[in-house]
Structure 1
């Protein structure tokens, strides 16, 4: 009985601590299963059944990505005005309808319009979820919840890819269309779960004494140079995602003597470590100074990972190539865990409470830019320079750590709006 109780207690402690954090984590799992199904089959569907060439698909996604980047911060402003929960409900419904609308696309123009309208909400989803976490959860549980979100998203993507793999063995258009429908259904469930969360309205601007003060002002995120530096650092460090998802498979297959099955081994290893380790890492990153140190370590590990990837391209045996690739993958994965946890803490700590939506949306621009441009830039670099390209890439990570130091060092004075500038009525940035 005691042993059962002990295991039960351990299981309970391993779960998110609050009702709100459990609902948000469940949302991440359900939504990512649907997204994984969609991502696994979307490119083939559009090129086989929607009248698009591969070039048109890439160009259309690029245009939609730019639209999503341009609208992320305005959607964040809406979250500050109407509350992140209310805006997130609209976003989720929009996404459900948008993925169904893809099924009626026929040709390049229809694809660009549909994708652009959908990307407006796709890009806003992540900062809105983080803003909701920031409003509903406090203390160490806040970053822990973000860890659960990331772990469960990785797990959900894996499940979604597996479901899609089974469905796509038929190769029929109907099977592909059901992947889109399944994704839309997942967002209907997400909408239902979000309605179960407490209503949170806009935060009232507060003065230095904590009382409501409509005259309280703060520099908008673009004019807060510390926040801009932290955002830029986050974008550079997030290149680890481009390396893992896009660059790694091509590098292993085309530039190393390692067998192609190593791609599956490497990606699976990363997924397992992320699912099991992300929440644990957040336990040690609970303040701005600890997050800054974690960012530095992440940059160091990414630098060494790049050196290991370069080595994998110059060794002449499959065994040594596999060993160096696995070493690079482990360094990359630990750096990824540290960077993810530190980026949440830094973005929360540097965002003013009443402007959290737009600040987190602005911080997310670094992530989005790296996601869109990162694969193209890194693949171009490696195509031109080979293994030495990894050494060029390695230089950028210490520079990112330096940028992060600029952004996270203690603020000497309270920022105020520049003379003559339009001030936004929000509270002054404070620590987490």
Structure 2
């Protein structure tokens, strides 16, 4: 084998293996570029040009987040009934229109109404994408595809933030508005990519057997094992809140580290995530391996919290920076392990006849952590300082234990022996008839 052939093989091996997984991965990259542009400038736009105060913006987003949280599972049910691809196409169109509608918002009431209508679809996007992956891709490639999605989303966010930074240097309203328009345009490309995927029908057929299978499915909220796994997943997902919201404020307000360390830490996390997420998924291909990964993730998060606490106690900028980098590395590896394990757990525990609503319900843990996590953690640290990190350090092993409760093997059911068989065994000739088959 020549050297060029070897490199060609390596490149192909590093890419998604199927046409569907490649389309979904590129789709994630394009969509996240637009989202990154929007996130970089939206808060400033609303407070400078849409007549909102910072408090109104926070309250409005909180209300919209709760509406999105309440409608996530019903959207998953629609995916089970009409197919995740069909529902996702409607969601994409709705989101494109919604982000353009933001440009006509003036005042708090209009903002809340627009945000609530948009968040119904925003919160549904992630579980619908996962349900689509679950329907189109099987085996180890399924989790690998989820790894590509996450890696490329991180890369796309970085590109989007960079593009927004160039645009925002002018500070003009027109520049801010183009960030919203650019995000809406990205959804046009996303719509085209999703349209290229094979049509995926309902989770179950519409015949009598399929309807019976759907009717026999226990609602996810009544499946206490699945609910336990979902709740644990929400606690472990606090690593996102720590990285995105808490870390910059902690570095700036509670440590002696130079302020530029924030950029170093966030950039390091992004690079490791882009390069490492797919590699991690190779080792998590079963419920047992996902449970082990969850345990390791919780342990690493505990150590990360201890390192964050140390960064607020040391008195020199050098040692504060060292402690912060150690905490960031531990947090990042834990994040990679938890993301991969959460995909495997949610897929493995979701019945095929109700995969859409189960995945949507599982996603509630992430949504709750995203909405309430930053406020809870910041409140804790503001009240207790470094001690607050030690409180968080205890929460993660408890969450891993709760996840184990949800993912451990179910007790094997002992089949009851039909009475007819007992009566038949008592009749003469029953034994000879059975042995003669």
Q: Distance in 2 between matches of 1:43 and 1:279?
A: 32
Question: Contact (CA 8 Å) 1:103, 1:180: kept in 2 or not?
Answer: yes
1:11 aligns with 2:8: no
* Distance apart, 1:59 and its partner CA: 0.3
Q: Distance in 1 between matches of 2:384 and 2:236?
A: 21
Counterpart residue number, 1:417: none
SS in 2 for 1:201: coil
* Distance apart, 1:205 and its partner CA: 6.3
Q: Distance in 1 between matches of 2:132 and 2:200?
A: 8
- Superposed, which structure 2 residues align to 1:131-150 within 5 Å? 131-150=131-150
* Distance apart, 1:4 and its partner CA: 1.3
* Distance apart, 1:411 and its partner CA: 1.2
- Superposed, which structure 2 residues align to 1:31-180 within 5 Å? 31-180=31-180
Q: Distance in 2 between matches of 1:205 and 1:405?
A: 33
Q: Distance in 1 between matches of 2:326 and 2:104?
A: 45
Question: Contact (CA 8 Å) 1:239, 1:370: kept in 2 or not?
Answer: yes
Q: Distance in 1 between matches of 2:205 and 2:91?
A: 25
Counterpart residue number, 1:214: 211
- Superposed, which structure 2 residues align to 1:361-400 within 5 Å? 361-400=360-399
Matched residue count: 411
Counterpart residue number, 1:239: 238
* Distance apart, 1:213 and its partner CA: 4.6
* Distance apart, 1:271 and its partner CA: 0.2
Residue 206 and residue 195 in structure 1: after superposition, are their counterparts in 2 closer, same or farther (change >3 A)? closer
Q: Distance in 2 between matches of 1:212 and 1:224?
A: 22
Q: Distance in 2 between matches of 1:260 and 1:115?
A: 33
SS in 2 for 1:73: helix
Counterpart residue number, 1:264: 263
Give the superposed CA RMSD. Answer: 1.3
Question: Contact (CA 8 Å) 2:75, 2:357: kept in 1 or not?
Answer: yes
Q: Distance in 2 between matches of 1:206 and 1:121?
A: 26
Q: Distance in 2 between matches of 1:278 and 1:398?
A: 22
Counterpart residue number, 2:251: 252
Residue 4 and residue 81 in structure 1: after superposition, are their counterparts in 2 closer, same or farther (change >3 A)? same
Q: Distance in 1 between matches of 2:154 and 2:134?
A: 22
- Superposed, which structure 2 residues align to 1:242-391 within 5 Å? 242-391=241-390
* Distance apart, 1:413 and its partner CA: 5.2
Counterpart residue number, 2:423: none
Question: Contact (CA 8 Å) 2:88, 2:128: kept in 1 or not?
Answer: yes
Q: Distance in 2 between matches of 1:413 and 1:13?
A: 40
* Distance apart, 1:412 and its partner CA: 1.6
Deviations 1:265-306 (A, max 9, x none): 000000000000000000000000000000000000000000
Q: Distance in 2 between matches of 1:30 and 1:243?
A: 26
Question: Contact (CA 8 Å) 1:205, 1:354: kept in 2 or not?
Answer: no
Residue 249 and residue 177 in structure 1: after superposition, are their counterparts in 2 closer, same or farther (change >3 A)? same
Deviations 1:136-193 (A, max 9, x none): 0000000000000000000000000000000000000000000000000000100000
Residue 226 and residue 205 in structure 1: after superposition, are their counterparts in 2 closer, same or farther (change >3 A)? farther
- Higher relative helix content: 2
Q: Distance in 2 between matches of 1:20 and 1:213?
A: 26
Question: Contact (CA 8 Å) 2:217, 2:353: kept in 1 or not?
Answer: no
Q: Distance in 1 between matches of 2:123 and 2:210?
A: 32
Question: Contact (CA 8 Å) 1:382, 1:389: kept in 2 or not?
Answer: yes
SS in 1 for 2:98: helix
SS in 2 for 1:286: coil
* Distance apart, 1:218 and its partner CA: 1.9
Deviations 1:310-367 (A, max 9, x none): 0000000000000000000000000000000000000000000110000000000000
Deviations 1:63-98 (A, max 9, x none): 000000000000000000000000000000000000
Q: Distance in 1 between matches of 2:168 and 2:28?
A: 24
Deviations 1:342-395 (A, max 9, x none): 000000000001100000000000000000000000000000000000001111
Q: Distance in 1 between matches of 2:205 and 2:364?
A: 25
Question: Contact (CA 8 Å) 2:203, 2:355: kept in 1 or not?
Answer: no
Question: Contact (CA 8 Å) 1:37, 1:182: kept in 2 or not?
Answer: yes
| Greater than 6 Å deviation, 4+ residue runs | none
Question: Contact (CA 8 Å) 2:273, 2:336: kept in 1 or not?
Answer: yes
